[in-house]
Amino acid sequence: MGRRILFLGPPGGGKGTQAKLLTKALGIPHISSGEMLREAIASETELGRKASEFMAVGDLVPDDLVVAMVKERLCRDDALCGYILDGFPRNVDQAEALANAMGSDGIETTIVLHVDEDQTVERLLRRADLEGRTDDNEATIRHRLEVFRQETEPLIAYYGDNVRRVDGVGSIEGIFCRVVSELAS
Ligand code: ADP
């Protein structure tokens, strides 16, 4: 088992961007629950149909659906040598489900990207123009930030000693350097 890394941070915090760079550097898969859900919606699967109403308003998709989806993904061969999780777990119940499923192969390092709220809103509104994601509008963005504070931020304490804090403001390359040096230390 290689490295097992979790990216944690607010919506618009740059988790996906950094996770994609790291997946290239380490050669282990990037597993993004949000991307998997958007793919399920695009291919009109049963999961996609169930998830879309929650995502459209910025609520979390029910735990049982997301946990089953990610557990299945983590069982594939390419995740045997490690993985980079992005967007999952998103609350303590999901973290416990993951810990039960993975045993000693659970998350080893948690990178928390720090970005203040005004910056994340600005980034998400810009992304809305570029990518056209339907959940990137101001009301939904504010709600997703609230969900992050209530549901996801407690995971920083949950993962305790394995948490590394990284300043998520600056150039993409600069932030990536900080991520890599945290992982090396
Ligand atoms: P962001 O972090 O910018 O909000 P994501 O792609 O991670 O973007 O998530 C988009 C949406 O997908 C969330 O608002 C939520 O509805 C759903 N989602 C993603 N991951 C999870 C998860 N682990 N549990 C529940 N819902 C999730």
Q: Is the pLDDT of residue 136 over 90?
A: no
Which residue shows structure tokens 């993904």? 73
Tell whether ligand 1 has an atom less than 6 A from the beta carbon of residue 144. Answer: yes
Marked catalytic residue, from 133, 142, 164, 165: 133
- Note down the domain range covering 159: 3-32+81-184
The answer as to whether 55 is a domain residue is no
The answer as to whether 42 is a domain residue is no
**How far apart are the C-alpha atoms of 178 and 175, rounded to whole Å?**
5
The answer as to whether 155 is a domain residue is yes
Model confidence, pTM: 0.94
Q: Which amino acid is at 44?
A: E
Q: Is 15 a catalytic residue?
A: yes
The answer as to whether 142 is a domain residue is yes
Q: How far is the CA of 81 from the centre of ligand 1 (A)?
A: 25
CA 159, 143, 43, 47 torsion: positive or negative?
positive
How many domains is the chain built from?
A: 1
| Integer CA distances (angstroms), 76 to 29, 107, 159, in order | 10, 17, 25
> 36-72 as b/e, with b when 16 or more CB fall inside 10 Å?
bbbebbeeeeebbeebbebbeebebbeeebbbebbee
Q: How far is the CA of 54 from the centre of ligand 1 (A)?
A: 9
pLDDT digits (tens, 9 = 90+) for 88-130: 999 999 999 999 999 888 999 999 999 998 899 999 998 888 8
Q: What percent of the chain has pLDDT over 70?
A: 99
Tell whether ligand 1 has an atom less than 6 A from the beta carbon of residue 34. Answer: yes
Q: For residue 6, give both structure tokens.
A: 């979790």
Nearest to 169 by CA among 98, 113, 93, 95: 113
- The per-residue pLDDT for 127 is 87
Q: Give DSSP secondary structure letters for 86-110.
A: ES---SHHHHHHHHHHHGGGS--EE
Q: Is 144 a catalytic residue?
A: yes
Q: Is the pLDDT of residue 1 over 60?
A: no
- Report, as an integer, the average pLDDT of 34-39: 97
pLDDT digits (tens, 9 = 90+) for 40-71: 999 999 999 999 999 999 999 999 999 999 99
pLDDT digits (tens, 9 = 90+) for 147-183: 999 999 999 999 999 999 999 999 999 999 999 999 9
CATH code of the domain containing 159: 3.40.50.300
Q: Is 127 a catalytic residue?
A: yes
- The per-residue pLDDT for 2 is 64
